[in-house]
């Protein structure tokens, strides 16, 4: 009886004496192999493992899910898996990555390697010595330097897919024909067999049409030349075996899992609805999708029952579509215990930044604010604990408070299902959460007040829209009326002619340092305000008066200057 036939008999017969699960019961695959007794099985959950394994006789090692159970060597100068001086060994349902040599077999009999993907081996995916009997069934060899090198013709190569390898099958012994014991394989774009050629009998050629090799999904798409060309029967659908890692009687039954779906709140007219969208799984056996949902916290079961007004319990059969609307939902928002605490209200130019404490179960927060009362304006700001309120008037005191709110959060995941009577379903690996419906609202926080104002010591430079440095430092903010009057005088009377522009340029060269010094000394700021008062009055007269008033003022100033000159005896 061949190893393949023996494994089939064992699969149809009694269950293994014990199943040692990695990493649930054993932290590493090798730990489980070493602890196993004859007829026990080592089962490896999805994950990425970095180990160099040494198998033992009569201890099968199997991945739970081929697509997501990855094995890389811890030491890449050694084979990832070594099988030596043993018999009755089965290794299956893994993806081997990052290897120089993937599997090395020496002096061993009845070895079955099945439903494994060998990806990118730098030297050899599989090396078989001269004194072994090995069956290689339903594997994928993709992008390896050498896929298989064997030292004996007693290596059966059946139902495999070879794609993108520099060399597919070669021998240690030149007397071994590469066609020996090679049957029903699928070949594409390999370096030694031509674009569409292959070795042995039952050759199928052409692009295998894997679903997504970038994400290591080696399921076949529709019209793949590797479908139904192999020996034996597929466990998935009962037809003739496909070539590759998902064909034959020992294949992993699960379709490739879907990513997290996209959720959109499509509620309208008082009816709560969530639109669920996902990318198609293009595996040729996939015939539909299941939408799993719940209101329970993360990690709980998908036991929702309220969709469709209570007629569509989870999971919902979405058919062979890529979107489905969960409608007539009945969300139950969680209660909120206690109010948040408003920690700080920091003023800035025409804005105030608020910071508050988070509240357990909150899915968002609302800011309440106004001048006379916090009831004047309200704004939803999402599930954050800091927010800046803009569009405020400088020089006005505002009152602020914050309230928490909680909406029911729906967790949604989507699975792919095949079209068989068993409807084999993919694993759930990712979900999306969306808060919908009317919220429960917590009490208002404490109130804080803030006065928006320009907080810099002096405004920006004139070419950036700035103003009067010293005046701003003296009066405390650039929005003060005195500073605005001086700025208007500068723009309307000094910057309109050459001498005035020269004076402004000199002012902006020397005044910033003085303004910075002045801003830190309150006593001096008061003195400067007193000195600036007549200049502000004069500027106000020029800026705010008409032509007649300005003419009269200039005439009076000229007369005053003439009188002073006469009293000093200045000749006319």
**Distance of alpha carbon 93 from alpha carbon 41, whole angstroms:** 13
- Is residue 349 very low, low, confident or very high in pLDDT (cuts 50, 70, 90)? confident
Reported as a single tens digit per residue, the pLDDT across 300-312 is 899 999 999 999 9
Q: Which domains does the chain have, with CATH numbers?
A: 3-220 (2.160.20), 262-333+410-439 (2.60.40.10), 342-405+441-450 (2.60.40.10), 462-566 (no CATH)
Among all chains, which residue has been given the structure tokens 């004139």?
Answer: 462
**Selection from 205-219, 332-346, 536-550 with the highest mean pLDDT:** 205-219
pLDDT (0 to 100) of residue 511: 62
79, 58 Cβ separation under 8 angstroms: no
pLDDT (0 to 100) of residue 156: 98
- Is residue 94 very low, low, confident or very high in pLDDT (cuts 50, 70, 90)? very high
pLDDT (0 to 100) of residue 466: 44
Mean pLDDT of 152-172: 96
**Residues near 56 by beta carbon (within 8 Å), at least 6 away in sequence:** 33, 34, 36, 86, 89
Mean pLDDT of 254-259: 98
Among all chains, which residue has been given the structure tokens 């907080």?
Answer: 455
111, 89 Cβ separation under 8 angstroms: yes
- Among the residue ranges 52-56, 439-443, 444-448, 526-530, the one predicted with the least confidence is 526-530
Name the DSSP class of 201.
B
What is the enclosing helix (H) or strand (E) of 292? strand 286-294
232, 402 Cβ separation under 8 angstroms: no
Question: What is the average pLDDT score of the chain?
Answer: 87
pLDDT (0 to 100) of residue 194: 72
Share of the chain above pLDDT 70, in %: 78
Our CA angle for 341, 347, 351, nearest 5°, is 100
- Among the residue ranges 101-105, 240-244, 283-287, 523-527, the one predicted with the least confidence is 523-527
pLDDT (0 to 100) of residue 453: 81
299, 308 Cβ separation under 8 angstroms: no
Reported as a single tens digit per residue, the pLDDT across 382-419 is 999 999 999 999 889 999 999 999 999 999 999 999 99
Give the global pTM: 0.74
**Token pair listed for 14:** 């009694």
Name the DSSP class of 490.
I
Q: Please tell me the number of Cα atoms within 13 Å of 511 on its side-chain side.
A: 21
**Token pair listed for 360:** 């357990």
pLDDT (0 to 100) of residue 548: 47
Phi, psi of 339, deg, nearest 5: -105, 160
**Distance of alpha carbon 171 from alpha carbon 128, whole angstroms:** 9
Mean pLDDT of 493-517: 65
pLDDT at residue 69 greater than cutoff 70: yes
Partner residues linked to 171 by β-bridges:
150
Q: In terms of Cα–Cα distance, which of 441, 438, 414, 442 is closest to 428?
A: 414
Q: In terms of Cα–Cα distance, which of 496, 512, 513, 495 is closest to 504?
A: 495
- Is residue 534 very low, low, confident or very high in pLDDT (cuts 50, 70, 90)? confident
pLDDT at residue 2 greater than cutoff 80: no
pLDDT (0 to 100) of residue 518: 58
**Residues near 494 by beta carbon (within 8 Å), at least 6 away in sequence:** 500, 501, 503, 504
Our CA angle for 129, 188, 73, nearest 5°, is 45
pLDDT at residue 105 greater than cutoff 60: yes
Does the N-terminal peptide bond of residue 23 adopt cis geometry, omega within 30 degrees of 0?
yes
- Is residue 72 very low, low, confident or very high in pLDDT (cuts 50, 70, 90)? very high
**Token pair listed for 390:** 């803009």
Instruction: Number of helices (H) and strands (E) in the chain: give both, helices first.
Output: 8, 37
**Distance of alpha carbon 256 from alpha carbon 286, whole angstroms:** 9
Mean pLDDT of 550-555: 56
DSSP reduced 3-state for 69: strand
- Is residue 529 very low, low, confident or very high in pLDDT (cuts 50, 70, 90)? low
Q: The dihedral of CA 533, 479, 371, 351: what is its sign?
A: negative
Mean pLDDT of 458-475: 48
pLDDT at residue 9 greater than cutoff 50: no
DSSP reduced 3-state for 165: coil
Mean pLDDT of 111-126: 98
pLDDT (0 to 100) of residue 458: 36
Mean pLDDT of 241-248: 98
3, 88 Cβ separation under 8 angstroms: yes
pLDDT at residue 447 greater than cutoff 60: yes
Q: In terms of Cα–Cα distance, which of 346, 341, 477, 452 is closest to 398?
A: 452
- Among the residue ranges 105-109, 192-196, 257-261, the one predicted with the least confidence is 192-196
Reported as a single tens digit per residue, the pLDDT across 183-203 is 999 999 999 987 668 999 999
pLDDT (0 to 100) of residue 501: 66
Share of the chain above pLDDT 90, in %: 71
């Amino acid at each position: 009886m061949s190893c393949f036939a023996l494994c089939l008999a064992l699969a149809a017969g009694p269950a293994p004496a014990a199943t040692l699960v990695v990493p649930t019961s054993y932290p590493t695959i090798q730990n489980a192999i070493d602890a196993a007794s004859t007829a026990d099985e080592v089962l490896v959950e999805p994950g990425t493992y970095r180990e160099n394994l040494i198998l033992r006789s009569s201890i099968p090692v199997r991945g739970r899910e081929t697509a997501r159970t990855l094995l890389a060597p811890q030491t890449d100068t050694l084979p990832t898996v070594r099988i030596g001086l043993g018999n009755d060994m089965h290794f299956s349902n893994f993806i081997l990555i990052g290897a120089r040599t993937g599997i090395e077999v020496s002096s061993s009999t009845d070895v079955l390697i099945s439903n494994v993907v060998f990806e990118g081996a730098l030297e050899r995916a599989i090396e078989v010595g001269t004194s072994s009997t090995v069956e290689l069934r339903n594997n994928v060899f993709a992008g390896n330097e050498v896929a298989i090198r064997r030292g004996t013709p007693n290596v059966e190569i059946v139902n495999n897919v070879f794609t993108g390898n520099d060399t597919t099958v070669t021998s240690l012994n030149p007397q071994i024909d590469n066609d020996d014991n090679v049957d029903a394989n699928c070949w594409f774009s390999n370096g030694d067999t031509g674009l569409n050629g292959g070795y042995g009998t039952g050759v199928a050629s052409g692009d295998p049409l894997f679903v997504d090799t970038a994400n290591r999904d080696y399921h076949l798409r529709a019209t793949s030349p590797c479908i139904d060309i192999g020996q034996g029967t597929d466990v998935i659908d009962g037809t003739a075996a496909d070539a590759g890692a998902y064909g034959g009687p020992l294949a992993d039954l699960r379709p490739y899992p879907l990513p997290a779906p996209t959720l959109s709140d499509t509620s309208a007219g008082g009816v709560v609805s969530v639109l669920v969208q996902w990318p198609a799984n293009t595996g040729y056996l996939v015939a539909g999708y299941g939408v799993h949902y719940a209101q329970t916290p993360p990690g709980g079961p998908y036991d929702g029952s309220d969709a469709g007004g209570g007629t569509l319990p989870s999971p919902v059969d979405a058919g062979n579509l890529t979107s489905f609307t969960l409608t007539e939902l009945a969300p139950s928002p969680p209660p909120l215990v206690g109010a948040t605490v408003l920690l700080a209200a920091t003023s800035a130019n025409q804005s105030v930044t608020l910071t508050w404490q988070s509240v357990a179960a909150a899915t968002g927060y609302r800011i309440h604010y106004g001048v006379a009362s916090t009831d004047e304006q309200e704004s939803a700001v999402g599930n954050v604990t800091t927010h800046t309120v803009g569009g405020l008037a400088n020089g006005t005191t505002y009152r602020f408070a914050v309230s928490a709110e909680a909406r029911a959060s729906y967790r949604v995941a989507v699975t792919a299902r095949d079209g068989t009577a068993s409807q084999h379903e993919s694993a759930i690996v990712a979900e999306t959460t969306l808060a919908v419906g009317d919220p429960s609202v917590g009490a208002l926080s404490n109130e804080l007040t803030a006065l928006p104002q320009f907080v810099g010591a002096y405004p920006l430079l004139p070419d950036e829209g700035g103003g009067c440095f010293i005046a701003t430092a003296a009066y405390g903010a650039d929005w003060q009326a005195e500073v605005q009057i001086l700025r208007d005088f500068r723009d309307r009377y000094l910057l309109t002619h050459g001498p005035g522009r020269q004076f402004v340029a000199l002012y902006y060269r020397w005044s910033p340092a003085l303004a910075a010094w002045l801003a830190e000394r309150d006593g001096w700021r008061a003195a400067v305000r007193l000195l600036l008062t007549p200049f502000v009055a004069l500027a106000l007269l020029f800026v705010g008066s008409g032509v007649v008033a300005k003419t009269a003022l200039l005439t009076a100033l000229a007369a005053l200057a003439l009188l002073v000159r006469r009293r000093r005896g200045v000749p006319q």
